[in-house]
Structure 1
Amino acid sequence: MKKVNIGGVPEHFNLAWYLTLKDGEYKNQDINLRWHDYYGGTGEMNKALRSGEIDMAVILTEGVVKDIIEGNPSKIVQTFVETPLNWGIHVAADSEFNTINDIKGARAAISRYGSGSHLMAYINAKNNNWNLEKDLNFEVIKNLDGAIKGLTNGDADYFMWEKFTTKPIVDDGIFRRIANLPSPWPCFVIAVRQEFIDNNEDDLKIILDIINETTSDFKSIPSIDKTIANRYEQELEDVQEWLSLTEWSQSIMDKKTLDNVQEQLYDLKIISEKVDYAQLIHEI
């Protein structure tokens, strides 16, 4: 049986992977797919792809594009979530900050450099015409638990993370959300190490076929909203809103979309060069 390691954030976006693993769908095809949770998000997964700790990752578009350009030996094989990620911009509940203008020049908590929380801080700064050199400051907090400690203790001032994941923390009076920021592109892609693609393309196709069959009908799974609410400790109405806003994909990211990602990252000086579509994408 072929062993394959895949990584992702332990969030509701990835429930389809859990369901297909629980049903033994990969083992039925002689594939031992092993899921690994990465609480540190995209930056941590990029490191794991580079080291060979995992073969595949369900990862934020902007983060993996940047890392592939910087030498990560991986390719994007498919868009996983077609819709933007709804980033919440959070401060501590008792913070003096109340608006986007208030956090100009303040310290952004980020999971690590190159992560989504890091890169989207640049998008937020650009949208508000901030000085990218003077008005952005960062404190590395590793993960969501680190952000809770960092903001509560005053080690950082604001934190950007997917708003439905952080909603229970807002409801508990730990964070206060002062704004939302949708990502300007499809949020999650599936990235795979080039070495794995070269040697296991048939297995990769089987894995993608299985997950795509589940995501294409995901919203019609009986009581899926209740399943998500229970598993991820979220309010049912929040889950229903999230489902109404989220669309999964079963296809490759097109050149126009990827060119837009690169253009924006380049303009923000997050990447030093733009590369050909073929250097980022492998079509199965």
Structure 2
Amino acid sequence: MKNIKIAGVPEHFNLPWHLCIENGEFDVEGINLEWTDVPEGTGKLCQMLRSGETDIAVILTEGIVKDIIAGNPSKIVQVYVESPLVWGIHVAANSNFQKLSDLENKKAAISRIGSGSQLMAYVNAGNEGWNTQDLQFEIVNTIDGAVEALTNETADYFMWERFMTKPLVDKGIFRRIADCPTPWPCFVIAVTDEMLQKHPGTIRRILEIINNTTIEFKEIPSIDRTLASKYNQKIEDIREWLSLTKWSQKPLSEQMLNKVQNQLLALSVIDKKGIFAEIVKDI
């Protein structure tokens, strides 16, 4: 058996991986795929790829593009979720903030530096015409940390995937005042250069297995109920999320990579663009 480590956020997008692992689909191929949940998100996942703590990461597109340009020895091998990620912009339920413009020059809670929650704060600021140089951040690590920061007023707003934070809105802890969809496919699969060099055939087979599952994922009987139960969601919210979400089985195109890099460059999130072959590998 080949031991391969994979990591991703504990969110509904990644249920296909868990189903494949539970069904023994990788085991049959002689692959022991060890999954690690990373609630801290993209910044932590980038760090894990750099340190060799994981061989593969299911990770936000903008976060890994930024980190590969900054020297992360990994490549994007495929788009995993083609549809945008809908980021909810949340404030404490009892705060005085009522509309998006109230948050200009306020402090954003982020999971960590380089996380999607930080990068999307830049995207949102760019959309609203705010000065991105004025953005302020409070590192909170996890959603629980964000609840604490917004409740204690050490941060003013928090951007996170809209459906995963919906239970906190329903409980009256957060109030969502706007949405900010990503202007690109939300999740990609990144693999360390070392793993690509040593075991390209194994990575190719892992992709084939997960792609066969994501193609048919929405057709799995009662998948809406399974997702609602596993991720503590209302069935109607899961059905809406499923209708908006489209998995992919294709590589990241040069055109889409340029779109991501051009926007990150315009927002001063990166100070240079990387070459396609240094960021993406089609295996």
TM-score band (shorter)?
A: over 0.9
Give the match for residue 96 of structure 1: 96
| Aligned residue pairs, count | 283
What is the one-letter code of the residue matched to 1:10? P
Which consecutive segments of 4 or more residues in structure 1 shift more than 3 A? none
What is the one-letter code of the residue matched to 1:200? H
Distance in 2 (CA, whole Å) between partners of 1:132 and 1:148 is: 24
Give the match for residue 111 of structure 1: 111
Give the match for residue 171 of structure 2: 172
Distance in 1 (CA, whole Å) between partners of 2:230 and 2:50 is: 31
Following TM superposition, by how much is the alpha carbon of 1:257 offset from its aligned partner in structure 2, in angstroms?
A: 0.6
What is the one-letter code of the residue matched to 2:4? V
Give the match for residue 204 of structure 2: 205
Give the match for residue 45 of structure 2: 45
Give the match for residue 62 of structure 1: 62
State the Cα deviation string for residues 143-166 of structure 1 (Å, max 9, x = none): 111001111111100000000000
- Which SS does the other structure have where 1:97 is aligned? coil
Give the match for residue 161 of structure 1: 160
Unpaired runs of 5+ residues, structure 1, are none
Following TM superposition, by how much is the alpha carbon of 1:14 offset from its aligned partner in structure 2, in angstroms?
A: 0.2
Unpaired runs of 5+ residues, structure 2, are none
What is the one-letter code of the residue matched to 1:113? I
What is the one-letter code of the residue matched to 1:118? Q
Following TM superposition, by how much is the alpha carbon of 1:275 offset from its aligned partner in structure 2, in angstroms?
A: 1.5
Following TM superposition, by how much is the alpha carbon of 1:59 offset from its aligned partner in structure 2, in angstroms?
A: 0.1
Counting only pairs closer than 5 Å after superposition, residues 1-284 of structure 1 correspond to structure 2 as 1-134=1-134, 136-284=135-283
- Which SS does the other structure have where 2:132 is aligned? coil
- Supply the RMSD in Å over aligned alpha carbons: 0.5
State the Cα deviation string for residues 59-95 of structure 1 (Å, max 9, x = none): 0000000000000000000000000000000000001
Determine what percentage of the aligned residue pairs are the same residue. 57
Distance in 2 (CA, whole Å) between partners of 1:41 and 1:228 is: 20
Distance in 2 (CA, whole Å) between partners of 1:244 and 1:39 is: 24
Following TM superposition, by how much is the alpha carbon of 1:252 offset from its aligned partner in structure 2, in angstroms?
A: 0.1
Q: What TM-score do you get using the length of structure 1 for normalisation?
A: 0.99
What is the one-letter code of the residue matched to 2:24? G
Distance in 2 (CA, whole Å) between partners of 1:133 and 1:116 is: 18
Q: What TM-score do you get using the length of structure 2 for normalisation?
A: 0.99
Following TM superposition, by how much is the alpha carbon of 1:48 offset from its aligned partner in structure 2, in angstroms?
A: 0.3
Distance in 1 (CA, whole Å) between partners of 2:116 and 2:274 is: 20
What is the one-letter code of the residue matched to 2:87? W
Following TM superposition, by how much is the alpha carbon of 1:132 offset from its aligned partner in structure 2, in angstroms?
A: 1.2
Distance in 1 (CA, whole Å) between partners of 2:97 and 2:222 is: 39
What is the one-letter code of the residue matched to 1:105? N
